[in-house]
Structure 1
Amino acid sequence: MNTELRAGYALPAPGTHRLLIKNMVCPQCIRVVREDLSALGLQVQRVVLGEADVSTPDGRDPDLGAVRTSLEKAGFALLEDPRAQLVEQIKTLLVTLIHYPAPGPRLLKYSDYLVEHLGRDYHYLSHLFSAEEGLTIEKFIIRQKVERAKELIGYGELSIAQVAEQLGYSSPAHLSRQFGQVTGLTPSEFQRLGPASHARRSLDALL
């Protein structure tokens, strides 16, 4: 996986400002945000899903009002409330892990991963997420995994068992149960509906 997608791995360099941005869900979003910030005269040091590190030529703070307006025109949102920032970081980390996984073994303990990269107790993260989003982190993970399963099934290159294994399910039956809870169909039934039904919902609709 392109490491450019991954958020939360580096501290801002001295003299830079980290912007946390809502609704960044794909590589295309990274390109658009980079172009928009550059058009404002900002020096863009780093852009990944949900984050951008920028500096100004004169060393002053960036004009957040201008940044906010530019991002909103492109369908994004600048996050300034600390609680909203943390919730968005949770979402971005989980979307990246599920939809754009790095090569190697599939991570199974999402809770440990969030604690490691956000430096917060999982109970606190879980409570905050539920309070802000109206659903648990676990249910958010299930939604994302089912959406990724729909995409993989739509490609037609993997069996249901292979899709289950790739997404870290203990068995195809486990995938089928969660898939049915979310879609009302089994993976096999969904597959038989044909390509017209395989279009992935916009990820920002799931965020």
Structure 2
Amino acid sequence: MILYVKNMVCDRCIMIVDQQLNQLGFSVKDISLGKVEVEPEPGSAQLQDIGAALQVLGFELIDKGRDQLIEQVKNEVINLVHYSDLNEIKQSLMHVIAGRLNKEYTYLSRLFSDGEGITIERYIIQQKIEKVKELLEYGELNLNEISYKMGYSSSAHLSAQFKTITGMSPSKYKSATGQNRKPLDRV
């Protein structure tokens, strides 16, 4: 049986969910962001136990097909933005996501907007800005290198988008004490 889990945003989340399901007596056959295949198939009481155990850890079982698809979109965005080199992707991220999920772009866009109250494009931008914040804090790349890595056409475009989202320029953010990064599941 495949379970869909909300708020799985990193490898550590995968490890924690895997450990929790093993402790509950399930064998994890396959696990990725937001999706876990377990054996044996849990009954309704066991699903409630799984849900309760995961909720304590900040996760949530998703049971509606619509919500599952929205979570899959979020996980694809996170995978692309945080774990890919965006300058190597030669088409729009939205079309990459639609292809990976075998769904029409317009359908996903409408579904996501209705469910989340923002467009997928806006969500992608928010995730990209969080990744830029991370890269700025590390201090290993300059703004030109960051803009290239994140698939921006120029550092000016990145700076403008960064200021729109955060209210400050990248250099102001970098020099500020107590930077304000958000956890990926809260973006």
TM-score normalised according to structure 2 size: 0.93
**Aligned-residue offset at 1:107:** 5.4
Contact 1:44 1:53 in 2 (8 A): yes
In structure 2, the partner of 1:203 is 184
Moved over 4 A (4+): none
In structure 2, the partner of 1:87 is 70
SS in 2 for 1:64: helix
Residue by residue over 1:87-117, the C-alpha shift from the partner in whole angstroms, topping out at 9 and shown as x without a partner, is: 0000000011111226982454112211211
Contact 1:79 1:85 in 2 (8 A): yes
- The answer for unaligned runs of 5 or more in structure 1 is 1-16
In structure 1, the partner of 2:25 is 41
Change (3 A) 1:78 1:55: same
**Aligned-residue offset at 1:203:** 1.2
1:185 to 164, 168, 173: 168
In structure 1, the partner of 2:54 is 71
Does 2:135 match 1:167?
Answer: no
Contact 1:146 1:182 in 2 (8 A): yes
Paired letter, 1:128: L
SS in 2 for 1:94: helix
In structure 1, the partner of 2:135 is 152
Paired letter, 2:124: I
CA distance in 1, matches of 2:62, 2:11: 20
Contact 2:87 2:151 in 1 (8 A): no
SS in 1 for 2:38: strand
SS in 1 for 2:88: coil
In structure 1, the partner of 2:2 is 18
SS in 2 for 1:147: helix
Contact 1:108 1:168 in 2 (8 A): no
CA distance in 1, matches of 2:109, 2:80: 18
Change (3 A) 1:41 1:93: same
TM-score normalised according to structure 1 size: 0.84
Paired letter, 2:134: E
Q: How many residues in Structure 1 have an aligned counterpart in Structure 2?
A: 185
In structure 2, the partner of 1:10 is none
Does 2:82 match 1:99?
Answer: yes
SS in 2 for 1:24: coil
In structure 2, the partner of 1:176 is 159
In structure 1, the partner of 2:111 is 128
Does 2:12 match 1:28?
Answer: yes
CA distance in 1, matches of 2:90, 2:12: 25
Contact 1:106 1:167 in 2 (8 A): no
Paired letter, 1:66: D
In structure 2, the partner of 1:54 is 38
Paired letter, 1:43: S
**Aligned-residue offset at 1:155:** 0.5
**Aligned-residue offset at 1:64:** 1.4
CA distance in 2, matches of 1:66, 1:155: 40
